[in-house]
Chains A and B, each alone.
Chain A
Amino acid sequence: MNIVVCIKQTFNTEAKIVLDSNGKIEDKGVNLIINPYDEYAIEEGIKLKEKFGGSVTVVSMGGTTVQAAMRTSMAMGIDKGILISDPALENTDEHGRAVVLAKALSTIPYDIILSGRMAIDDCSSQLAIRLAEILNIPSVSSVIKLEIEGTQATITKEIDGGTKIVEVALPAVITTTKGLNEPRYPSVAGIMKSKKKELKIVTLAELGLSSEDLTPKMNVVKHSIPDARKAGQKIAGEPAQAAQELARLLREEAKIL
């Protein structure tokens, strides 16, 4: 089975966000991690390989720092990687990124493409589904259970207030969420092996793309940092008094209830 896992390197969830002098998100000095949702995709990809054989390829777009995230995924058990790295990627949007990713994937065989359901930096939840549309294959989002038999996948996904089970024929794009599995930690042996695994870096020109293909559909007007939420008031007194006062404040001040 040819398994592809798309990952993004993101800021650590604890990272403080500030803007640089150009009003862009400052990335200096920030610890980088694998997007948390993508860890479920990596784990599922490795599990599928353990069950069905074949190979798992990790694909990512970004700067050269992304290699660290890709090596970590290789230490977990991914076989090889393709990094699409090009300065032009900075100036595109979800549409453009999907075009690039689709182009890269069209150069390799795939039976299943796994990705996280959302990147915690741009919080778009778009890329994987757009990718499926360009590749003209089905997509199932927010997956918490995946069973494969032959070329059929039976999939349980989260919906508001419950779950849904669907069946699709492979190849398909699956976006993963918490509940699907427990991502493993890289082993020492895994880390050693990961260093020798193949990691190919490609540019947009090598993919046959030009900056025109990346023309964004959306324009960023500006970024801003919200004012920190301020600590409000602590209600003093014995529990009974405090509860009474809270109920009053919620009704009279906050005008709720």
Chain B
Amino acid sequence: MAKGIWIIFEQRNSEIRKVSLELLSQGRKIADETGEPLVAVVLGHGIEGLAKEVATYGADKIILVDDEKLAEYSTGAYTSVLNKLIREGEPQAVLMGNTALGKDLAPRLAQRLGVGLASDCTGMETDATSFLSFIRPIYSGKAFTQVTSNVRPILATIRPNTFTVAAPDASHQAEIVKETASIDPADLRAILKEVAIAASKRPELTEADIIVSGGRGMKNPENFAILEQLADVIGGAVGTSRAAVDAGWRELKFQVGQTGKTVSPTLYIACGISGAIQHLAGMGSSKFIVAINKDPEANIFTIADYGIVGDLFEVVPLLTEEFKKLSK
């Protein structure tokens, strides 16, 4: 009998990604509803210290696999270790974030296990017959599909910011199980040469709770400074449209949309962005959308919760001042 809901944790330099805590928090609710144990699986090197923190978010059991070869993520090593753990532990469901890592790992793991995978889900429901079903956007959010599986385990990657992180409970205890990684050298087919993570005081785009985004209306790269100032006052990330990337004003990694990042923040502030369908494809699932645009007919207003028709160069600095007042 398959047992348990497993959350595959993601950490970098012993810092846990927010999406992992979101999944553990939501996993707790499902575990309580279904009576299944909730298991956090943490892979990495020098990660023992993380167990205490993970426990406070409600895990019943924490599986730690600490190995030098797991220090940096690699498709081969992670697939091999998780394949073995899952075959032995036989969970009902295995969830991970739809992050760069999750997108790379989950399909490999699913195929090795011979199971299905629901990718980039934005909803999850318990189901009497098939345990869990998942809701995922298709056609860039223009439609949804609900999927489930009778094959165990059900694998899914969940879009960051879909669920909220519950308040930690310092008294919560979890059973800690240390497993050893038996990694076959044949699994290590990609040799890591370099990891370059740009140091930034701003949150990573896909997990940011607030995104301030600028498009062609910004007119030049220097003007993005006013968006950065606004973002910094409210702890947001700065995104952009394809027009600004193609003009060479902003780096590609900040592009939101069909051919860029899919984001789902609580608040998305679009400045000087017309709201083309391909841009909406990347941010349409934001909880609140604010548009600042001088064209009252701009498409972005048809989906914005709050809009200001005006010159962004006037409005944005004023907004920054207002937020400063609020944060005092």
Is B278 on the interface with A (CB-CB < 8 A)? yes
A123 pairs with B137, CB closer than 8 A: yes
Contacts of A159 in B (CB 8 A): 100-101, 195, 197
A221 pairs with B260, CB closer than 8 A: no
Is A91 on the interface with B (CB-CB < 8 A)? no
A13 pairs with B192, CB closer than 8 A: no
B142 pairs with A225, CB closer than 8 A: yes
Interface size on B, residues (CB 8 A): 91
Interface of A, secondary structure class, is mixed
Contacts of A125 in B (CB 8 A): 103, 107, 119-120
Is B240 on the interface with A (CB-CB < 8 A)? no
Contacts of A120 in B (CB 8 A): 139-140, 258, 281
Interface of B, secondary structure class, is mixed
Beyond A95-B114, A217-B151, is A123–B140 a contact (Cβ under 8 Å)?
yes
Interface string of B272-286 (1 = CB under 8 A from A): 000001100100100
Distance to closest chain B CB from A61 (angstroms): 17
A123 pairs with B120, CB closer than 8 A: yes
Is B193 on the interface with A (CB-CB < 8 A)? yes
Is B168 on the interface with A (CB-CB < 8 A)? no
User: Which residues between 233 and 252 of chain A lie within 8 Å of chain B, taking CB atoms?
Assistant: 233-235, 239-240, 242-244, 246-247, 249-251
Is A94 on the interface with B (CB-CB < 8 A)? yes
A122 pairs with B301, CB closer than 8 A: no
Beyond A141-B104, A167-B191, A217-B151, is A160–B206 a contact (Cβ under 8 Å)?
yes
B147 pairs with A232, CB closer than 8 A: no
A250 pairs with B308, CB closer than 8 A: no
Distance to closest chain B CB from A74 (angstroms): 23
Mark B residues whose CB is within 8 Å of A.
75-76, 99-101, 103-104, 106-108, 110-112, 114-120, 130, 133, 136-151, 189-198, 200, 204, 206-207, 210, 234, 252-253, 255, 258-260, 266-267, 277-278, 281, 284, 288-290, 296, 301-311, 314-315, 318-319, 321-323, 325-327
Mark A residues whose CB is within 8 Å of B.
11, 13-17, 19, 25, 36-37, 93-95, 98, 120-127, 129-130, 132-134, 138-142, 144, 154, 158-169, 177-179, 216-226, 228-235, 239-240, 242-244, 246-247, 249-251, 254, 256-257
